[in-house]
Structure 1
Amino acid sequence: MEQDTRMRMSYWEQIKRSSWAYPTIILSFYGFFANFRPAEPFLTPYLIGPYKNISEEQVTNYLFPIWTYSYLAVLCPVFLLTDFLLYKPVIVVQGLFLVTNYVLLCFAQGLAAMTFLQINYAVVTATEVAYFSYIYSVVPVDQYQRVTGYLRGAMLVGFTLGAALGQVLVSVVGLSYFYINAINLGTLCVAFALSFCLPMPQHGLFFRDQSHSAQQGETRIEAGGGWCSRTIFRQAGQLLWKSFRDSYSSRQLIYWALWWALATAGYFQVFNYIQLMWNHIEPSSTSSVYNGGVEAITALMGAAVAFSVGHVRLRWAVWGELVLGVFSAVSAGAVFLMGLTSNIWACYAGYITFKASYMLMITIAMFQIAGNLSIECYALTFGINTFVAVLLQTLLTAIVVDDSGLGLDIVTQFIIYGSYYAAISLLFLVRGAYTAGRHHCGTGQASVQDQKEDPGAEVLSSVQF
């Protein structure tokens, strides 16, 4: 017995000494528990029901816009502080704010408390950048693909099982929303505790000390030492500018980044307000609400279509923009269906179609952008694209949703979101038709240029999701 215990301890010590296994295991478990949220698919019924007693109009036109504005305000500072503080403190902060979020949901009452909750949750979403950035700073480059797959898998499994459990607790057990939120609070406390077990990275992607820069073969700037020295900030600024130029030097990558920002802004709006649409169509008892089951199915569908990308063979430089236009049209049709139907099952089907379409194309877009970029460039590009998406989402919210703007009802909002995706579709269909026509009717020089700008026509199957 004692010998078995020693052997297990010795094996765990070997894992802890590994250059990548220990932080990957801990962060994967953190990602699982942080995304294991059985109460999240039922947030809107919980807020507008007897537990919080907030009106649907207040949730739609006041509370949810607070999250959007707060997210925009904290996103850029958090992105830079994440690298400067070496990731782990930001992950710990995210875990703390997740716990605080569900403490408020369980025990706080009144509109003011729920307003603070939206600001609190904006910090949670803004700090998500630390989840993947952390692991890239503590594992060797040759393990990036493997650990990315593990971390995405942990998030997906956590979200799917959490949504499925929430549905079982609502439909089968008949548990009240309050107790489901209490269970959620417990799982997030586990995630918060796990965040302290992560080892501290020795360097960031942009803010690096001179010894690390020298080890990586980078130009060493001689100046006064110190982590917070002027030299460190100057080096970080130079690397940020270089990464920006490298990221957006290709016309092809700019098109993918543009679609990423435009489509993600619309996705955020649909995802944020879909529960209000479901409640509008069928404001029924908890036993007939299937939000959790739909979210679980949607997550599995998203994983399936993302995995299928690895088996696609396509000249993305030629056909990519046209494909973006086609799937944007699918998204537009799905959003119109959600907004115009009075059947809850048709609305569920539209949401599943919409999210699967978005997950498929965002996976391709992420790979197309990351395929020819260093991890520093990819981190910056992800940050910039997300910031532009949130900026566009904020404009949509201020004009369409907010009481100080048009303050439209939920049905009219979804009709506008469908029109928004239709405009994206038209833009990329026209551009895609021009690109494909130029390739087939133009000179050989155009074909050569397309091949140079295609980041992943032949190696798409190597990406991990």
Structure 2
Amino acid sequence: MSVLYPTLLLCAYGFFSNLRPLEPFLTPYLLGPDQNLTESQVVGEIFPVWTYSYLLLLFPTFLATDYLRYKPVLVLQATSLVVTYVLLLKARGVLAMQFLEFFFGLATASDVAYYSYIYSVVEAKHYQKVTSYCRSVTLLGSAAGSLTGQLLLSVGKLQLRHLLIVTLTSFAVAFVGPWFLPMPKRSLFFHKSPGTAEDIQHNSNFPESRVPLNQDVSESKAGSPPRAFTKVLHTLWDDFLQCYKCGPLLAWSLWWALATCGYFQVINYAQPLWESIRPSHEHDIYNGYVETLSTLLGALAALLVGYLPICWSLWGELSLCVLSFLMAACIFVMDTRNNIWLCYGFYILFRATYMLLITVATYQIAANLNMQRYALVFGVNTFMALLLQTLITVVVVDSAGLGLDIKTQFFIYGGFFVVISLVFLMAGLWTATRRRAEQEVLANMCTETDSPPVRDASGCR
């Protein structure tokens, strides 16, 4: 029961907080009579605020999540979602929508609490199952929300404002959940229980760490809160340096940061692109079906990772090169072919490819980490993606920068993925050359001894 109750409650919260029928139609709503904003205002002045807010709030929210032991931040996230859609329903004008994007950035940054909470209230042997439950239910909620929105719009002939009310109702239901979650007694850094690191390392079903934990850090009970805070920051820095010394982890993290940056830009600005090709005030739109199908195929692609007969440690860089180039091709087709059906189809392929690769990257990074350091490395990777995304947004999207039109923006995003592909092409060729040289050295050594040296398959010494 101690495992079942928080897991069911967290899954219910994850489902209803991701059940958002209006989200696939957010741009048409902002451009329509309810808000009556222009495309340049939406793309150049409103949407960029989410990126800036997410970047600004990510690290403070990460620390607050651990210090407050997860539950208060989950309540904050639920509150932020409700405030976001109340503003969307009641407020008008660019400034109000910018405040809306700030609260949505706060809600997005608080996702770390959702994915970390469960580890603090269940035993390590249940981590794999509860993780799969929580991640699956959020995808299910997202797909169900998109499908519901499209059906209400196309079949029920409801207006976009009605989809907003349904979404707000879903958030109101989700808001209740976090209040009834049990308050954790421990957390990752500030409230560690004795033996936490050792218990997790030896009792979990995950691979043992190839990057050792900094064992000097644990007890936050000693000292005042300022001293404990300073100690945590010192620990994080030491572990950061230790983790990124591992070559394979660094390579997969680099792809994570670069590709996630491009992925966010594409999905954030896909609706304005679709609107430019097929205006919603003139034609029926099917954004909900597209988001539903892309979410479900993305989840299927993630599941297929476990069955692909690929040695990722050997062919990882070249696979990233080829599939990143495929993602670039999808963006170029979306941008250059003025056909909404091609745009929809290649958007689905783009998202499915990213979901497949990000799942592989997650596993490959986790294989070189102890579970105590997942949050650190994944948080750093996300922060770097957001930092790069912010730079692109400021220069390319924001009206204070170049303020380029949506077609030119997508051309740049396609070129960005071409650059990623070339980076990993060079990395793959360098890895292949290095491995061949090492094999030649090993072959020469084998002629002199019967016991050739053994190298860690992960590439980390």
TM-score, normalization by structure 1:
0.89
1:249 CA drift (Å): 2.3
Deviation at 1:417, TM superposition (A): 0.3
Superposed counterparts of 1:29-428, under 5 Å: 29-208=12-191, 212-213=193-194, 229-285=225-281, 288-428=284-424
Matched letter for residue 346 of structure 1 = L
Give the 3-state SS of the residue equivalent to 1:199 in structure 2: coil
Percent identity between the aligned chains? 48
Deviation of 1:444 after TM superposition, in Å, equals 6.0
Aligned position for 2:208:
none
SS at match of 1:426: helix
Instruction: Name the CA distance, whole Å, in 2 between partners of 1:445 and 1:240.
Output: 38
Amino acid at match of 1:371: A
Task: Structure 1: give runs of 5+ residues left out of the alignment.
Answer: 1-14, 456-465
Q: Do the aligned partners of 2:29 and 2:35 also contact (CA within 8 Å) in 1?
A: yes
State the alpha-carbon separation in 2 of the partners of residues 223 and 133 from structure 1. 19
Instruction: Tell me the residue number matched to 1:451.
Output: 457
Q: Distance in 2 between matches of 1:338 and 1:114?
A: 28
Q: Report the more deviating stretch, 34-43 or 425-434.
A: 425-434
Superposed displacement of residue 454, structure 1: 7.5
Higher mean C-alpha deviation, range 407-416 or range 310-319: 310-319
Tell me by how many angstroms 1:436 deviates.
Answer: 2.5
Shift of 1:433: 2.2
CA contact (8 A) 1:103 1:185 kept: yes
- Cα contact 2:249–2:368 (8 A) shared by 1: no
1:308-352 CA-partner distances (Å, limit 9, x unpaired) = 001123222221011011110000000111111100000001101
- After TM superposition, give the deviation of residue 287 of structure 1 in Å: 6.5
What is the Cα deviation at residue 221 of structure 1? 8.0
CA distance in 2, matches of 1:332, 1:215: 43
What are structure 2's unaligned runs of at least 5 residues?
199-214, 443-452
The 3-state SS of whatever aligns with 1:360 is helix
TM-score when scaled to structure 2?
0.90
Query: Contact 1:247 / 1:378 at 8 angstroms: preserved in 2?
Result: no
- Note closer, same or farther for the CA distance 1:184–1:219 as it changes in structure 2 (3 Å cut): same
Instruction: Please say if residues 328 and 421 of structure 1, whose CA atoms lie closer than 8 Å, have aligned partners that are also in contact.
Output: yes
Determine if contact 1:207/1:232 at 8 Å carries over to the other structure.
yes
Alignment CA distance shift 1:242-1:286 (3 Å): farther
Deviation at 1:174, TM superposition (A): 0.8
Greater Cα shift, 417-426 or 281-290: 281-290
Q: Report the CA distance shift for 1:220/1:441 in structure 2 as closer, same or farther (over 3 A).
A: closer
- Decide whether aligned partners of structure 1 residues 82 and 223 sit closer, same or farther in structure 2, where only a CA change above 3 A counts: closer
Partner letter of residue 361 of structure 2? A
Q: Cα–Cα, structure 1 residues 438 and 189, in superposed 2: closer, same or farther, change >3 Å?
A: same
Aligned equivalents of 1:240, 1:129: Cα separation in 2: 16
1:360-411 CA distances to partner (integer Å, 9 max, x unpaired)?
Answer: 0000001110123122211000110000000000000011111121110000
Letter paired with 2:194: S
Matches within 5 A, 1:432-443: 432-440=428-436, 442-443=438-439
Pick which of 163-172 and 200-209 moved more. 200-209
Checking the alignment, whether the CA contact within 8 Å between 1:67 and 1:121 is kept in structure 2 is yes
What CA distance in whole angstroms lies between the structure 1 residues aligned with 2:129 and 2:194?
25
